Amino acid sequence: MKKERIINYLYKVVMLFIIGCFIGCIFETILCFLQRGHFESRRGLIYGPLNPVYGIGFLFICLLLKKEKRNYMIFLKGFFYGGVIEYLCSWFQEMFFHTTSWNYNKYALNFDGRTSIYHMICWGIGTFLIMEYLYPNIIKLIDKIKLRYRLVITIVILIFLIVDITISSLAFIRYKERLNKIPAHNSMDRFMDEHYPNEYLVKIYPNIRDSKTGVKLSKMK
């Protein structure tokens, strides 16, 4: 029984994360079209329409608020948790990859340009809509999968995510090295150069900027 509970919990965590990644990527793509009049990649990983920032936010919001019944507390907690998650994801990206995918310095009451009161309000509203309408239906949907299939589904998705995140990270690190004129030193570098050249990565990450200069990597030579 304990083993079944663990499998069931891991299954739901993985499913909520990847569903959040997908929904976030689609949302960002549509928002970009409405704001700019054209479609543009909003993926966070090389393979699949997935944005891990939204996946992390969606997962933690669902896990932390699934038992909360008070609407105003759902909004307030979404406001706070969403802002913290957005801030930490931005900090992590800058610390480890020396790049930024968004900057909110132009917004009043922003926090180091990583998040702002306006975006935290959006997180609060989004959290309310998720918990009120989306989360209950998603849980009903994923609960329809029989227990004996859940372990296989969890393992397959985890392997896919690990491979996708690893390749995306290595390809992006090598991308930065090429911009800094660092030649390939080993077979892994040469593999990345051959299969994930700058032109390919620019299409996936068109808005990523160097954290020091603020210049889009697609503009750097």
CA dihedral 25, 30, 36, 39 (to 10 degrees): 70
How confident is the model over 115-144, as a mean pLDDT? 95
Which residue range is the domain that position 99 belongs to? 2-219
Residue 47 CA to residue 142 CA, distance in Å, equals: 23
How confident is the model over 130-144, as a mean pLDDT? 94
- Comparing 41-45, 89-93, 122-126, 217-221, the range with the smallest average pLDDT is 217-221
Question: For residue 20, how many other CB atoms are within 10 A of its CB?
Answer: 26
11-44: pLDDT as tens digits: 999 999 999 999 999 999 998 888 888 888 889 9
Number of domains in the chain: 1
pTM over 0.85? The answer is yes
Per-range mean pLDDT, top range of 22-36, 151-165, 195-209: 151-165
